[in-house]
Structure 1
Amino acid sequence: MKINANLIRVGNIIENNGKQWAVLKTQIVQPGKGGAFITVEMRDIRTGTKTNERWRTADTVEKCNVEEKDCTFLFVDGDALTFMDQENFEQFNLTREVLGDAAAFLQDGMQVAVDFIEGSPVSVSLPEKVTMTVVEADPVVKGQTASSSYKPAKLENGLKILVPPFIAEGEKIIVNTGDCSYVERAK
């Protein structure tokens, strides 16, 4: 299906130069002189190589037909991540590179959306927010105001993020999987 380049969004799968690419980042640039254009950072879904491409906003690109299925994450086996299709209970593996940094947020039994092209899985969409436990947090420094200062904390999955000073070790917090940022305390 052909779409205008200005309609490309993060997560789309597009076809360019005979290959299928997953869109990672987009930026529309409107220079003071001349027409607007879109810069797209994308990853080849077969080989994992990244590239940047630039199109005028009026250009058309081929958007691939993607079938999205609800799946369950089961377990990690070395570099392979095992998922199960919830409709027919078939299991399949993906490598960590397909998810990138988001693989750290996977938890056993987590419900995810997996995109399939021609019957093979190509990308995974995690829930927007996940609950994690803080395993290390620096103590509060007196005199800091809660509104402007954050302190480093280490989560159960090994990631380090910035949290407000009132978060202590052992607390459960909600983390945004898109940008690895603190959202709120878990209730």
Structure 2
Amino acid sequence: MKINGNEIRPGNVIQHQGGLWAAVKINAVKPGKGPAYAQVELKNLETGSKLNERFRASETVERVRLEQKDHTYLYAEGDMLVFMDAESYEQINIHKDMIGDRTAFLQDGMAVIVESHEGRAIGVQLPEQVTLEIVDTEPTVKGQTASSSYKPSTVDNGLRVMVPPYMTVGEKIIVNTETMEYVKRAD
């Protein structure tokens, strides 16, 4: 689907320079002289590289619609992650690099969304938040609970997360998978 260069929005995926690019940030620029344009920060969905590009309103770009299907994470096999289609039970392998640091959040049986283009997987959306257990943290210092300082802790998937000083080993916490930060104590 063709759209004008000034209609690109964050999250849109476009065909550009022979690859698929996701728009990360957009800044509408209206110079005093000359036509307005959109300054767009793009991220390549295959390589992860970034690019800043200018698109004028008169230019058209090809907007790509990604197919999104529910999948279940099964297991890791070397550098590959195995997912199962929730409808057809067909298994697909996706390289760990596609998810990057967030691979640590994958748990057996976790529901994810696999994004594909022309039958080829190009991205995996994890749940926004996951519940993890604290396995190691510093002891609480008396009188420190009133301050807003956080202390480092290690959770059961091996990540280091900053948590409030009153948290102890064995407690379950909710962590944001995008920012990798503590959200709240799990119920």
Structure label with greater radius of gyration:
2
* 1:31–1:142 distance in 2 versus 1, CA, 3 Å: farther
Superposed CA RMSD in Å reads: 2.3
Alignment of 1:153-172 (within 5 A): 153-172=153-172
Identity over aligned pairs, percent? 43
SS at match of 1:180: coil
Distance in 1, Cα, partners of 2:140 & 2:28: 43
In structure 2, distance between residues paired with 1:90 and 1:56? 40
1:130 partner SS: strand
Please give the residue correspondences for 1:58-137 in structure 2 after superposition, counting only pairs within 5 Å.
58=57, 60-137=60-137
| Structure 2 counterpart of 1:54 | 53
Structure 2: gaps spanning 5 or more residues: none
5+ residue gaps, structure 1, are none
Deviation at 1:128? 0.6
TM-score if structure 1 supplies the norm length? 0.86
The CA deviation string for residues 47-102 of structure 1, in whole angstroms up to 9 with x for no partner, is x2512222247454322121100000000111100000011110000011111111
> TM (normalized to structure 2)?
0.86
* Distance of aligned partners of 1:13 and 1:145 in 2 relative to their CA distance in 1, 3 Å threshold: same
Q: C-alpha offsets along residues 121-152 of structure 1, whole Å, 9 cap, x if unaligned?
A: 11000111100111111112233244521111
Change in Cα spacing, 1:86 to 1:6, as seen in structure 2 (3 Å) is same
Would the alpha carbon gap of residues 5 and 172 (structure 1) be closer, same or farther in structure 2, given more than 3 Å must change?
A: farther
Q: Describe the shift of the 1:107–1:32 C-alpha distance in structure 2 as closer, same or farther (beyond 3 A).
A: same
Is the Cα–Cα contact under 8 Å of residues 75 and 82 in structure 1 kept in the other structure? Answer: yes
SS at match of 1:109: coil
Q: Is the 8 A contact 1:149 1:165 kept in 2?
A: yes
